[in-house]
Structure 1
Amino acid sequence: MSYLVFARKYRPQIFDEIVGQSHIVKTLKNSITNNRLHHAFIFAGPRGVGKTTTARILAKCLNCETGITITPCNKCSICTEIINGSSMDVQEIDAASHTGVDNIREILEKVAYSPIKARYKVYIIDEAHMLSKAAFNALLKTLEEPPPHVKFIFATTEPNKIIPTITSRCQRFDFKRVENVDIIEHLASLLDKEGIKYSRQALSVIARESGGSVRDSLSMLEHIVSFSTGEINEEAITRALGLISRTTIIKLLKHILNKESSKAVEIIDESYMAGFDLSILFNELLALTRNVLLLKIGQTKIIYNDLNSDEIEEIKPLVSQITTQGLHMLFDTFFTASEEIGRSEQPLFTAEISVLKAIAVSSLKPLEEIIQKFEALEKRLLNDTGNTPLNTSRKAKPPQEINLEQPEVWLNVINEAKKRGKINLASMLEDGIFLSFDNDKIKIGFKGAIQLSSVREPANISLIKDILKGIYGRDIDIVIQDLSIQEKTASSVSEEIAKKKSESTRKESEDMMQNPLIQTAIQIFNATVIDKDKK
């Protein structure tokens, strides 16, 4: 007899052997027992979780020579033919290679005929989402009013691609990913039958890498059995599958949290030289960071699906070394690093710098902690010196009365001209030089001939006077003076305002630095005052 791979040799033959799909098994059993079985089904779910296997078992339950039952005998000729795939009445169709409407028409031509040997004709259409729209439409009438001896089972990993008119005519069952605990038990049972020694930690690695797929776990197990000459342990699995050991990942995270830059970079270099994919290494760091975060919030049930008890004990000390916010920042750093390494021409350099960034991120103090320190400092100063808080340390200046001798008078005129849509005039006025204000008369000088002629136009003079009257409530005259003849030492409006603002800012900075709260904060945080305007 030819060799059978584990996935075929240990394929479930009755409902009770199906792993991790108890909700579906229970529903189908009840439907068969109560004779309330639908004529068409959609089995949806990830790969390798038992969709086609369940369809075959259902076909045997309906056609077993012992009668319709929830436990087929697997010994009669019909059960044997279904197991071997040779039954003329139970047909499996690969929709990935039979996508067209002609393929479906061939099936529909045979649907009307009674079964040759079995009780029901069962059509198992695998990868059903690959069927064309025309093929689906060809099935509509048959699915709506099927012959009593026909059952359709559509198995798919992408149920959203099946058109709604088909879905509405079928009973849908959603297969879930199998939990790691169930996969471990299944693999342990299989290895016991094969007489192969193993460790539970090794099986937990296989379960984790399988992603909830029983078939994937069996394929990996067979690979490892062929690779290993003795007991199946974690070291054999990591070497056979090319995985980075979880011990190495935990050690790397410890170095990052302990700010041990040299040791962390050393692990990156060793992993690279060993041929590991560094983007996968950072994905593992992502998963471990997530587990530490879950452990920090007390969610241990989910962690056991990814870590064994020894690994959980090993990461428990990490929980107290970093805050929740710090873990969030680490997660973002590792996520970005994983993407950047995947598209980088120098993955080693990118990985090394990313680890150093992670160390810097883990060293940052949370904003909440800094705020709390400032609040505590403020309270202490209030109690010790009786000073007012920072935001009230300087009395607010009373509102200043309008001084018409300030150049801001002219700036108000410019802004109002802009509001009225006189952009060209406003641009000319910005070149004006404020000279004086006496007896309701403003003197403004211009050096350029173009500005002089433009501003002196009667319409513009009238507009300026109207603006001044609107601002100050009385008539104010304006004199335009030619400064190209009479040189006068005066600053332009914009220069004068900028100068006054600079002086005001400098005065405020000096006053703030004298505040005792600021002085104490500089001492506590060993801070240095930086002038952001100086480069």
Structure 2
Amino acid sequence: MESPLALYRRYRPETFAEVIGQAHVTEPLRAALANNRVNHAYLFSGPRGCGKTTSARILARALNCEQAPIADPCGECDSCKDLARGGPGSIDVIEIDAASHGGVDDARDLREKAFFAPVRSRYKVYIIDEAHMVTTQGFNALLKLVEEPPPHLRFIFATTEPDKVLPTIRSRTHHYPFRLIPPRLLSAYLSELCAKEGVTIEPAALPLVVRAGAGSARDSLSVLDQLLGGAGPAGVTYDLATGLLGYTPDTLLDDVVEAFAGGDGAAVFGVVDKVIETGQDPRRFTEDLLRRLRDLVIVAAVPDAPATGLIDCSEDQGERLVSQAARFGPAELSRAADIVASGLTEMRGATAPRLLLELLCARVLLPGADDDTGGVLARLDRLEKRVSISGGTPTPTVAAPAPPAQDRPAPPVDRPAAPDPAKPVVSPASSPPASVVETPAPESEPEPEPVVIVQPSAPEPAPAAAPEPAPAAAPVASGALTLIDVRRLWPDIVEATKGMRRLAWMHLTQNCQVVSIEGDILTLGFANSGARDSFVSGGCDAVLRQAAVDVVGASWKIDTIVDPSAQPEGTPTVTKAATATPEPAAPTAPAPAASDTAAPWDPEPESTASAAAREAIQQTRSADQGPTQTGPDWASADADARPDDLDAEHQGVSAAELLQRELGASMIEEIPHQ
């Protein structure tokens, strides 16, 4: 049993009505045939496999049809049967391959035989394929014959490069340019052929065949023929098409696009490694990624592009494209596409394509590295996307909790006169609104003792009402945030914990990473059990939960596991506003710091201020009896009160700086008595 012919031979059109995608050529030719206004020479040009030679054969059949003039050959006469598919051919229709018969000798031989009348048909038709391969001497030899042929002679030149045809020959022909076949039309044609062949083909595999054919009917049929030959009981599947044609599977493209959207560098480079390990070409992967980004750019501008056919894809893939485009902003997508396009150009002829692929992925992940307009717009898109995800105004900075109003009374309207610069002043004394002034006794008294004069300030005003807390971001429904969204907002959440409890911030930046988010349960993976136990026992999970509420408005339950492969998610990229407070105009009570549970810390300001004042007076009284003391060890006391805050211990804060920061007081050396 003989094997069947190739698809492009079995389904070669026999009439102009069967030619697809070339209506701009076939309709004028049919009209000319029907009106008997046929020229003596034609030039058919266009890409390969678009129907030039096939249309030339149909034109020859129509010219020699017994019912001529007629638009389409009848298919009943002897001439039509001879030139049909599988027919023996006609002695009056001669096809010449100019690639091997384009010399001057071949042209002279053709010229001698052309003057003989046809044997059985009305016209002797010469179809010269690949006409651009005819030499200049060959064209010159045919010039007179083409210009003034005998009445029974017709010429049809077919070429992919009409510019290489001698201009004097081209000017004596009717030129019909053929075009590539549109993808949707070619896709429908291939589906029809699969139905005729009795083989099923998955909707996701059909666009790959069309893409491999690149608009050429013959190339597309050759690819489909290969897939039909290797198809199993399930027909032509998507996996079969991607494996044979070498295209990147949609799963890999989905993974890398989602990783770009979430800023997940580990996932991006994991996909690149998988591409290399599976033996795929980095250039092909980059080309497929660029095509995916092109589709996303179109979907971002036209959300119904997959449904309207603007993008040739299956229904489920169209839904994925819409979902992925919603994770980006238009400027971010455009910037990513520009970077990938530039990288694809640089990969041509490169000796290390994987290196270039990884570098372009790194550039896509870091819009902050670009100081041009594209990088700025990409960062703006990320901020806008964060607002849309969190459902409220973004919270780039996290301030410490405000202390109660009664701990910080408003300064009096009538302030006391400024003390004499010659007199040492220590503030505050036993109560916040009073000032302590130490003055020396008159000079006539020997060995004077310092006299402490307490100058009362204005009456203490009534405690002001506690300020209403600022409205938090709108709460996010459980399950509204995906793992990608959480990883995008994770740097902001981690940064928020830094202002609440430094120990929690250190754990989150050094020892753990986000593993999963299921409903309202956030799972964190720690590198070892010690770090996990320290995080839980130190109450850091409560700090993280409050930070998540402040940043995204989501109240999560924190679950912790031990994951030896856990790596820190990265240093938070959101910059906090400056927290340095200006020097107060009047003495104020110590500002409370954040506790382990992010609640306001009440250090009993009355007793602390009195003790600090008494300690300062004791230092000034004993100044002439020994070296000046540096005051109590406030750094140790602060470390004992808040063992997780290491600022005072590691930054070397002196007593004078601590008094200025916590009490608003200043250390003034005593003026020697005369």
TM range (shorter): 0.5 to 0.7
Q: Deviation per CA, 1:198-247: give whole Å up to 9, x if none.
A: 22332222112211111111101111111111221212211222221234
Equivalent residue, structure 1, for 2:239: 235
1:95–1:5 Cα change, 3 Å:
same
Q: 1:279 aligns with which of 273, 283, 286?
A: 283
Q: Kindly indicate whether residue 113 of structure 2 is the aligned counterpart of residue 110 of structure 1.
A: yes
Partner of 1:182: 185
Amino acid at match of 1:328: S
> Is 1:255 the counterpart of 2:222 in the alignment?
no
Task: Summarize the Cα distance change of 1:320–1:197 in structure 2 as closer, same or farther, 3 Å threshold.
Answer: closer
Q: CA deviation at 1:39?
A: 1.3
Flag structure 2 segments of 5+ consecutive residues without an equivalent. 384-574, 580-674
Find the counterpart in structure 2 of residue 94 from structure 1.
97
Match of 1:68 in 2: 69
Q: Deviation digits for residues 324-350 of structure 1, max 9, x if unmatched?
A: 333333223212322333433333333
Task: Pick closer, same or farther for the CA change 1:195–1:100 going to 2, 3 Å.
Answer: same
2:41 and 2:173 in contact (8 A); partners too: yes
Q: Which residue of 2 aligns with 1:308?
A: 314
Q: 2:59 maps to which residue?
A: 58
Q: Please list the CA deviations of residues 379-421 of structure 1 after superposition, one character each: whole Å capped at 9, or x if unmatched.
A: xxxxxxxxxxxxxxxxxxxxxxxxxxxxxxxxxxxxxxxxxxx
Tell whether 2:133 aligns with 1:130. Answer: yes
Matching residue's letter, 2:182: E
What is the match of residue 382 of structure 1?
none
Change (3 A) 1:80 1:371: closer
Distance 1:215 1:368 in 2: 45
Of 338, 341, 362, 2:347 maps to 341
Per-residue CA shift, 1:470-529, capped at 9, x if unaligned? xxxxxxxxxxxxxxxxxxxxxxxxxxxxxxxxxxxxxxxxxxxxxxxxxxxx97599xxx
Provide the C-alpha distance between the structure 1 equivalents of 2:12 and 2:43, rounded to a whole number of angstroms. Answer: 21
Question: Contact 1:280 / 1:338 at 8 angstroms: preserved in 2?
Answer: no
Whole-angstrom distance in 2 between the partners of 1:192 and 1:307 = 20
Quote the Cα distance in structure 2 between the aligned partners of 1:60 and 1:347: 52
Structure 1 residues 16-72: Cα deviation after superposition (integer angstroms, max 9, x where no partner): 111111121111110111111111111111111111111111111111234332232
Aligned to 1:462: none
2:169 to 141, 166, 171: 166
SS at match of 2:200: coil
* Deviation of 1:3 (Å): 2.5
Work out whether residues 181 and 305 of structure 1, in 8 Å CA contact, stay in contact via their aligned partners in 2: no
What code does the residue aligned with 1:315 have? L
Same amino acid, percent of matched pairs = 34
1:452 corresponds to: none
- Counterpart-to-counterpart distance in 1, 2:350 and 2:35: 60
TM-aligned CA distance change 1:348 to 1:76, over 3 Å: same
Q: 1:328 to 1:163 in 2, by over 3 A?
A: farther
Partner of 1:39: 40
8 Å contact 1:32–1:69 — kept in the other structure? yes
Deviation at 1:148, TM superposition (A): 1.7
Asked if the contact 2:332/2:378 (under 8 Å) is kept, the reply is: no
The answer (yes or no) to whether the contact 1:180–1:305 under 8 Å persists in 2 is no
Judged with a 3 Å threshold, the aligned counterparts in structure 2 of structure 1 residues 369 and 246 are, in CA distance, closer, same or farther, namely closer
| More deviation, 236-245/302-311 | 302-311
Q: Is the partner of 1:243 in helix, strand or coil?
A: coil
Q: Paired residue for 1:268? A: 272
AA partner of residue 7 (structure 2): F
Task: Determine the structure 1 residue equivalent to 2:293.
Answer: 289
**Is the 1:341–1:350 contact (alpha carbons within 8 Å) kept by the matching residues of 2?**
yes
Q: 1:253 to 1:523 in 2, by over 3 A?
A: closer
In the alignment, does 2:363 pair up with 1:353? no
Distance in structure 1 (CA, Å) of the matches to 2:137 and 2:302: 52
Tell me which amino acid in the other structure corresponds to 2:56. A
Aligned pair 1:318/2:321, yes or no?
Answer: no
Q: Deviations over 1:95-143 (max 9, x none)?
A: 1111212111111111211111111111111111111112222222222
Matches of 2:336 and 2:378, distance apart in 1: 18
Whether the aligned pair in 1 keeps the contact of 2:41 and 2:172 (CA below 8 Å) is: yes
Question: Could you list the per-position Cα deviations for residues 155-177 of structure 1 after superposition, in whole angstroms to 9, with x for gaps in the alignment?
Answer: 11111212222221111111111
Note the residue ranges of structure 1 that are not aligned, 5 or more in a row: 374-521, 527-535
The 1:191/1:283 distance shift into structure 2, 3 A limit, reads same
* Residues 179 and 305 in structure 1, CA contact (< 8 A), matched pair in contact too: no
Give the whole-Å Cα distance in 2 for the aligned partners of 1:40 and 1:246: 49
Q: CA deviation at 1:363?
A: 8.1
CA distance in structure 2 between the partners assigned to 1:65 and 1:344 by the alignment: 61
Q: In the TM superposition, what whole-angstrom CA distance separates every residue of 1:291-336 from its partner, at most 9, and x where no partner exists?
A: 2222333393896354334323211233343343333332232123
Q: Would the alpha carbon gap of residues 289 and 371 (structure 1) be closer, same or farther in structure 2, given more than 3 Å must change?
A: closer
Q: Where does residue 30 of structure 2 map in the other structure?
A: 29
Q: Which residue of 2 aligns with 1:530?
A: none
Kindly state the Cα deviation for residue 8 of structure 1 after the two structures are TM-superposed: 0.3
Distance 2:105 2:578 in 1: 78
1:510 corresponds in structure 2 to none
Distance 1:525 1:184, change over 3 A: farther
Instruction: Identify which range, 249-258 or 219-228, moves more after superposition.
Output: 249-258
Distance 2:578 2:78 in 1: 84
8 Å contact kept, 2:367–2:376: no
SS in 2 for 1:343: coil
SS in structure 2 of the partner of residue 200 of structure 1: coil
Matched residue type, 2:149: P
TM-score, normalization by structure 1: 0.66
Instruction: For residue 155 of structure 2, give the secondary structure of its aligned residue in structure 1.
Output: strand
Alignment of 1:79-90 (within 5 A): 79-83=80-84, 84=87, 86-90=89-93
Q: Judging changes above 3 Å, is the alpha-carbon distance between structure 1 residues 147 and 322 closer, same or farther for their aligned structure 2 residues?
A: same
Q: 1:59 to 1:524 in 2, by over 3 A?
A: farther
Kept in 2, the 8 Å contact 1:46–1:175? The answer is: yes
* 1:440 matched residue in structure 2: none
Q: Counterparts of 1:404-443 in structure 2 under 5 Å? A: none
Q: Compared with structure 1, are the counterparts of its residues 207 and 369 closer, same or farther at alpha carbon in structure 2 (3 Å cutoff)?
A: closer
**Judging changes above 3 Å, is the alpha-carbon distance between structure 1 residues 363 and 255 closer, same or farther for their aligned structure 2 residues?**
farther
Q: Does 1:197 align with 2:206?
A: no
Q: 1:209 to 1:250 in 2, by over 3 A?
A: farther
**Contact 1:78/1:118, CA 8 A, preserved across alignment:** yes
Which one of the candidate residues 137, 146, 152 is aligned to 2:155?
Answer: 152
Q: Aligned to 2:250, which of 240, 246, 261? A: 246
| Corresponding residue SS for 1:71 | coil
* Matched position secondary structure for 1:201: coil
Amino acid in structure 1 at the alignment position of 2:361: V
The equivalent of 2:644 in structure 1 is: none
Aligned 8 A contact 2:127 2:156 in 1: yes
TM-score normalised by structure 2 residue count: 0.53
Query: Which structure has the bigger radius of gyration?
Result: 2
Total equivalences in the alignment: 379
**Distance of 2:221 and 2:190 partners within structure 1:** 7
